[in-house]
A and B are shown apart, each in its own frame.
Chain A
Amino acid sequence: MNAPQSALLLVGSPKASGSSSESLGTYLLEELEARGLRTRTLHVVKAVRDDAGVEDLLEAVAAADVVVLSFPLYVDCLPAPVIRALELIAQGRAGERAPADAVAGQAGAEIGREQLFAAIAQCGFPEAEHNETALAICREFAEAAGFVWAGGLSMGAGGMVDGRPLREARGMLRSAVRALDLAAAGLAAGRPVTDEAVRLMAKPAFPAFAYRFIANWQWRRELKKQGATAPLDARPFA
C-alpha cells in the first residue's frame, strides 16, 4: 500500500484519562506523527455515548489510513464499550461497501483503499499471554470490517505503566518503548507490526513473583486509603 498519511488512535480504556492504554497508544501515535502522519485521538467510551459521538467516530475511522486500538483486558476480552464501537464501525462500513459494490468505480474508489488496523492490548497480569484471545478478536474484526490487519502488540504487567507518559518511564519499560518504535516505523511505511516488535512488547519487564507481591501489597494499601466499607475478601452476596 502507499505510505499512510494519517493515523487514528482509539483509546479503549473506560477511564476518562490517565490510563495505561492511553499512555501506550499515545506514544505510538507521537512516533507516527514524528514520521509525518496527521494524527487524531478518540476515547471510545465518550464516542459511543451518543449519536453525534458515533458519527464522529465513524468519520474519523473512515478518514484514517492507520487505525490503532489500545485497550485494557477485561474478563479475557475487550471492554464492552470497545466491542460496541467495533460493532458500530463494522455495521457502518458494511453499509458503505454495499453501494460501492453496486456502483463500481464511484464510492468504491475511496472506500476501497487499504486501511491498516493494529491493536495494543495490556493486562494487569504479569503474563502477556492473557491478551491473546482479545487480539484474535481484533483480528477477526479487522477482517470482517474490511481493514488490513496490521498486527497486535500484547503487554503484561500493564500496571507498571500506571497511566504515565511512556517517555517518563523509559528505563523500566524500555522493551515496550522499543516495540512501539519498531511498530511505528512499520506502520508509517504501510507495513504490519513485526514479530520482533511483538516479542519485545510481551517481554516481562519485571519478575512475575515480584510483580504479584507488589501488586498484592498495593491493593491492601489502596483499601486503607479508600476507607473501605468491608475487608478485602468480604462476601456480601454469600
Chain B
Amino acid sequence: MTTPRTALLLDGRVDDDATQALIHDTLAAGMAAAGLAVDDWTLRDEKIAWCAGCFGCWVKTPGVCVHKDGGRDVAARAARADLLVYLTPVTFGGYSSQLKKALDHLIPLKLPDLKKTGPDTRHPQRYDRVHDLLVVGTVPRGQGQGGQARTFRRLVERNCLNLRPAHSATGVIDEGAGAWEVRVAVASLLEQAGVAGAAPAHLQDKEMVA
C-alpha cells in the first residue's frame, strides 16, 4: 500500500460543534502522524463565491476558474493532493453549504467531454493523479443508520464513481461521540483511505489507552 504524500482537508463545519472539532483535530493529527503534509482549510473563514455555472473553467481558461477568489484555489490545491478529506455535518443527507461551496469548484479538475464509462456517461479527469477520498459526516446521536446517513453514504459513492479514488472511506459519526470513539473511528477511516501507519501510532496515545 502506498502512503499518500499530501492531504487537503476541506473543513466544512458550520459552527463550533465540539464533536466536529474533535474529529477535525483527530484527522489532522492522524494524517500528520502518518507523515502526510496536511493542507488544512477552514472553509467558513474563506471568501469563496458560489460557482456561477459559467463553464469558463472549461472553455475560456481551461482548468482555472475565471473568478479570482478562493474558488480558484480549490482546484489548484486539490489537484496537488493525494488524499482529499471532507468534513461536514450531514445536511439533509448531503454536504453543508460551507463544504459544497468549495466542492462546486472542483469542476476544473474534469474535462468537459462526455465519455461513456461503464453504464453511465461521465467527465474524464483532467489530471493523471489518482486521489484517495475520505469523507466524514456527523449526525445527531442515534441517527447513524437513519435516512440522512444512508443518503450521505450514497452521495459519497456517487462522488467515488466520478473521482475514481484508489482508496476511499466514508464515516458517519454521532454528535456527542467521545474522544475514544472518535479516535477509533478516524483511525479506521484513515486506514481504509490508504493512510498506512496512522492507526497504530495514533491509537497508542497514553491518554487514550487510559
Contact = CB atoms under 8 A, between A and B. Distances in A.
Given A87-B97, A137-B151, A233 B62 contact: yes
A124 B120 CA distance: 12
A15 B52 CA distance: 6
B166 to A, nearest CB: 19
A151 to B, nearest CB: 16
Contacts of A215: 114
8 contacts: A14-B53, A80-B101, A125-B122, A127-B119, A226-B60, A231-B62, A236-B64, A238-B127
A230 B62 contact: yes
Interface residues on B, range: 35 or more
Nearest to A229: B61
A74 interface: yes
B205 to A, nearest CB: 35
Interface of B: 14, 50-56, 58-64, 75-76, 79-80, 91-97, 100-101, 103-104, 106-107, 111-116, 119-122, 126-127, 147-148, 151, 154-155, 158-159, 162
Interface residues on A, range: 35 or more
Interface of A: 13-15, 19, 45, 72, 74-81, 83-84, 86-87, 90, 124-127, 129-130, 132-134, 136-138, 140-141, 143-144, 208-209, 211-212, 215-216, 219, 222-223, 225-238
Contacts of B158: 76, 130, 133
A42 B180 CA distance: 47
A77 B92 contact: no
